[in-house]
Structure 1
Amino acid sequence: AKSCYVNSIAKAKEGDFDAAAELVKQGDEAYNGGHEVHMKLLQAEASGAGKKTLPLLLLHAEDQMA
């Protein structure tokens, strides 16, 4: 998501606003997909599933969303 947003700024600076808008749309889709997975992981952790591996996955997911 982050790279889509950064690339959209570059396209806007070049005057290619259609490409910039498409990149924002792609970034939003990627972010929303990541958020959905992140919420599922949080719910699984809260229920006690995957006690050994989930925290590491959560750290990675949060890092990727930042």
Structure 2
Amino acid sequence: MADQSSLEVAMTLIMYGGEAKSCAVEAIAAAKGGDFPRAAAKLELAQKALLQAHHAQAEMLTKEAQGENTELSLFMVHGQDHLMTSIAFVDLAKEIIDLHKKFKE
């Protein structure tokens, strides 16, 4: 079983990764409706959520580099997967929003 610290990091990655993806979905929907200021605001929230997840991940990586091994658990694998998928989703949302802008012009 994962230790409490490792579990907290995993849950942080899952929570903020999910928040980032949700904001990106909302940003795409806003752009689809032509509301580009709202789309930009939602993308900014997505980036802030990714930054929070990144801080948790960086803290864990720093501890690992200092010799504090992190127990690998299914929660951590899921958290890392959730974060990486969310990063890709936010990147794609930016491109989709740009396409919507070009179509509206």
1:1-55 deviations in Å (ceiling 9; x for gaps): 1121121011100111121111000000001111111011112123232543xx2
Root-mean-square deviation over aligned CA pairs: 1.8
What are structure 2's unaligned runs of at least 5 residues? Answer: 1-19, 86-105
TM-score between both structures, scaled by the size of structure 2:
0.52
State the aligned residue count: 64
What are structure 1's unaligned runs of at least 5 residues? Answer: none
Seq. identity, %: 34
1:19 aligns with 2:38: yes
Match of 2:78 among 48, 51, 60: 60
C-alpha distance in 1, partners of 2:64/2:76?
9
